Chain A
Amino acid sequence: MPLILQPEPNASVLRHRDMILHDLTQLAEPGTVQSQIEARRAFETDALTAYRCMPFAVLLPRTTEEVSRLLAYCNVNEVKVIPRGAGTSLSGGALPTEDAVVLCLSRMSRVLDIDFDNRFARVEAGVTNQSISEVVGPDYFYAPDPSSQLACSIGGNIAMNSGGAHCLRYGVTTQNLLGVKLVLINGDVVEIGGSHLDSPGYDLLGLIVGSEGQLGVVTEATVRILRKAEGARPLLMGFNSSEAAGACVSSIIASGVMPVAIEFMDRPAIKVCEDFAHAGYPLDVEALLIIEVEGSEKEIENQINLIVGLSLQHEPTVTRISKSEAESAAIWKGRKSAFGAVGRISDYVCMDGTIPLSTLSETLTVIARICSEAGFQVANIFHAGDGNLHPLILYNANTPGELERVEHCGAEILKHCVAVGGCLTGEHGVGIEKRDLMPLQFTSIDLQQQMQLKTVFDPHWLLNPSKVFPLDGRKAA
Chain B
Amino acid sequence: MLQGIERPLEERELAQLVAEAARTRWALEVAGSGSKRRIGRPIEISGVVTTRNLRGITLSEPSEQVISARSGTLLSAVEAELAKHNQHLACEPVDLGPMLGEAAGQTSVGGMVATNLSGARRIQRGGVRDQLLGLRAINGRGEVFKWGGRVMKNVTGYDLCRTLAGSWGTLGIFSELTLRAIPRPEEVRTLVLMGLPDSIAVEVMCQALATPFEVSGTTHLQAVLAQRLRLPALTNSGTSVTALRIENFSPAVAYRADKLKDLFVPYGDLIELDHAKSLAFWEELRQLSFLQGSVDPVWRISTAPKMGPRLVESIRRYRVCHAAYDWSGGLIWLEVPDAGDAGADDIRRVVATLGGHATLIRAEPSVRARVDVFPPLETAVQRLTNGIKQAFDPLNILNPGRMYPGQ
Residue ranges of A at the interface with B (Cβ–Cβ < 8 Å) = 115-120, 160-161, 163, 167, 171-172, 174-175, 184, 188-192, 194-207, 209-211, 215, 227-230, 250, 253-256, 258, 295-296, 298-299, 302-303, 306, 354-358, 383, 386-388, 421-430, 434, 438, 441-443, 445-447, 449-450, 452-457, 468
Q: Are A203 and B166 in contact (CB under 8 A)?
A: yes
Query: If the complex has contacts A227-B211, A230-B212, are A302 and B252 also in contact, measured as CB distance less than 8 A?
Result: yes
* B61: contacting residue among A189, A358, A428, CB under 8 A: A358
**Interface residue? B3 (CB, 8 A):** no
Cα of A299 to Cα of B250 in the assembled complex, Å: 10
* A204: contacting residue among B64, B123, B357, B381, CB under 8 A: B381
Query: If the complex has contacts A354-B151, A356-B61, A450-B158, are A256 and B212 also in contact, measured as CB distance less than 8 A?
Result: no
Q: Are A210 and B129 in contact (CB under 8 A)?
A: no
Q: How far is the CB of A185 from chain B (nearest CB, A)?
A: 12
Highest count of chain B CB atoms <10 Å: which of A175, A206, A423, A425: A206
By a CB distance below 8 angstroms, the chain B residues around A425 are 154-156
Query: If the complex has contacts A190-B381, A201-B403, A295-B252, are A172 and B153 also in contact, measured as CB distance less than 8 A?
Result: yes
Cα of A250 to Cα of B64 in the assembled complex, Å: 7
Q: Are A426 and B127 in contact (CB under 8 A)?
A: no
Query: If the complex has contacts A227-B209, A450-B160, are A199 and B166 also in contact, measured as CB distance less than 8 A?
Result: yes
Q: Are A201 and B381 in contact (CB under 8 A)?
A: yes
* A386: contacting residue among B139, B149, B153, CB under 8 A: B153
Query: If the complex has contacts A191-B378, A197-B330, A354-B152, are A299 and B210 also in contact, measured as CB distance less than 8 A?
Result: no
* B139: contacting residue among A161, A200, A449, CB under 8 A: A449
Q: Are A167 and B64 in contact (CB under 8 A)?
A: no
Q: Are A202 and B251 in contact (CB under 8 A)?
A: no
Cα of A202 to Cα of B390 in the assembled complex, Å: 13
Choose the segment among B221-229, B282-290, B299-307 that binds chain A (4+ C-beta atoms closer than 8 Å).
B299-307
Query: If the complex has contacts A197-B123, A357-B64, are A161 and B159 also in contact, measured as CB distance less than 8 A?
Result: yes
Q: How large is the interface on B (under 10, 10 to 19, 20 to 34, 35 or more residues)?
A: 35 or more
Query: If the complex has contacts A172-B153, A425-B155, are A456 and B162 also in contact, measured as CB distance less than 8 A?
Result: no
* B206: contacting residue among A117, A206, A434, CB under 8 A: A117
Cα of A209 to Cα of B162 in the assembled complex, Å: 10
By a CB distance below 8 angstroms, the chain A residues around B116 are 198, 203
Cα of A160 to Cα of B153 in the assembled complex, Å: 12
**Interface residue? B267 (CB, 8 A):** no
Q: Are A356 and B150 in contact (CB under 8 A)?
A: yes
Could you show 19 A-B contacts with beta carbons less than 8 Å apart? A118-B330, A191-B378, A196-B302, A196-B330, A201-B375, A201-B404, A210-B155, A230-B212, A253-B63, A254-B65, A256-B183, A299-B252, A302-B249, A354-B152, A354-B153, A387-B64, A423-B154, A428-B155, A446-B157
Cα of A430 to Cα of B65 in the assembled complex, Å: 26
* B126: contacting residue among A120, A175, A298, A456, CB under 8 A: A175
Q: How far is the CB of A472 from chain B (nearest CB, A)?
A: 16
By a CB distance below 8 angstroms, the chain B residues around A215 are 158
**Interface residue? B314 (CB, 8 A):** no
Q: Are B64 and A227 in contact (CB under 8 A)?
A: no
Q: How far is the CB of A418 from chain B (nearest CB, A)?
A: 9
Q: How far is the CB of B55 from chain A (nearest CB, A)?
A: 23
By a CB distance below 8 angstroms, the chain A residues around B146 are 442-443, 446
Give the tally of cross-chain contacts (CB within 8 A): 249
Interface residues of B in 47-74 (CB under 8 A from A): 61-66
* A445: contacting residue among B145, B161, B403, CB under 8 A: B145
Interface residues of B in 132-153 (CB under 8 A from A): 139, 143-153
By a CB distance below 8 angstroms, the chain A residues around B209 are 119, 227
B296-325 vs A, Cβ < 8 Å mask (1 yes, 0 no): 000000111111000000000000000000
Q: Are B384 and A190 in contact (CB under 8 A)?
A: yes
Highest count of chain B CB atoms <10 Å: which of A160, A196, A210, A454: A196
Q: Are A421 and B151 in contact (CB under 8 A)?
A: yes
Cα of A194 to Cα of B182 in the assembled complex, Å: 28
Minimal Cβ-Cβ distance residue in B for A295: B252
Cα of A357 to Cα of B152 in the assembled complex, Å: 10
Query: If the complex has contacts A203-B163, A227-B209, A229-B212, are A210 and B381 also in contact, measured as CB distance less than 8 A?
Result: no
Extra A-B contacts (7), CB below 8 Å, given A206-B129, A443-B146, A457-B384: A118-B306, A202-B388, A204-B385, A206-B165, A227-B212, A423-B151, A428-B155
**Interface residue? B16 (CB, 8 A):** no
Q: How far is the CB of B182 from chain A (nearest CB, A)?
A: 8
**Interface residue? B238 (CB, 8 A):** no
Q: How far is the CB of B199 from chain A (nearest CB, A)?
A: 12
Q: Are B377 and A256 in contact (CB under 8 A)?
A: no
**Interface residue? B109 (CB, 8 A):** no
Query: If the complex has contacts A229-B212, A256-B183, A456-B390, are A357 and B139 also in contact, measured as CB distance less than 8 A?
Result: no
Minimal Cβ-Cβ distance residue in A for B148: A423
Q: How far is the CB of B283 from chain A (nearest CB, A)?
A: 20
Q: Are B330 and A200 in contact (CB under 8 A)?
A: no
**Interface residue? B387 (CB, 8 A):** yes
**Interface residue? B391 (CB, 8 A):** yes
Q: Are A253 and B64 in contact (CB under 8 A)?
A: yes
Query: If the complex has contacts A298-B251, A446-B145, are A429 and B155 also in contact, measured as CB distance less than 8 A?
Result: yes
Q: Are B157 and A204 in contact (CB under 8 A)?
A: no
Minimal Cβ-Cβ distance residue in B for A91: B155
By a CB distance below 8 angstroms, the chain A residues around B388 are 202, 207, 453, 456
Q: Are A452 and B153 in contact (CB under 8 A)?
A: no
Interface residues of B in 365-381 (CB under 8 A from A): 374-375, 377-378, 380-381
Cα of A119 to Cα of B307 in the assembled complex, Å: 13
Minimal Cβ-Cβ distance residue in A for B185: A256
Q: Are A192 and B381 in contact (CB under 8 A)?
A: yes
Q: Are B151 and A197 in contact (CB under 8 A)?
A: no
Highest count of chain A CB atoms <10 Å: which of B118, B162, B380, B403: B162
Q: Are A201 and B374 in contact (CB under 8 A)?
A: yes
Q: Are B391 and A449 in contact (CB under 8 A)?
A: yes
Cα of A299 to Cα of B259 in the assembled complex, Å: 13
Query: If the complex has contacts A197-B331, A199-B166, are A354 and B211 also in contact, measured as CB distance less than 8 A?
Result: no
Minimal Cβ-Cβ distance residue in B for A203: B162
Q: Are A254 and B63 in contact (CB under 8 A)?
A: yes
Minimal Cβ-Cβ distance residue in A for B392: A449
Minimal Cβ-Cβ distance residue in B for A163: B153
Cα of A425 to Cα of B154 in the assembled complex, Å: 6
B381-400 vs A, Cβ < 8 Å mask (1 yes, 0 no): 10011011011100000000
Cα of A217 to Cα of B63 in the assembled complex, Å: 40
By a CB distance below 8 angstroms, the chain A residues around B126 are 171, 175
Cα of A358 to Cα of B62 in the assembled complex, Å: 11
Cα of A163 to Cα of B63 in the assembled complex, Å: 22
**Interface residue? B46 (CB, 8 A):** no
* A438: contacting residue among B157, B303, B380, CB under 8 A: B157
Minimal Cβ-Cβ distance residue in A for B184: A256
Highest count of chain A CB atoms <10 Å: which of B129, B182, B212, B327: B212
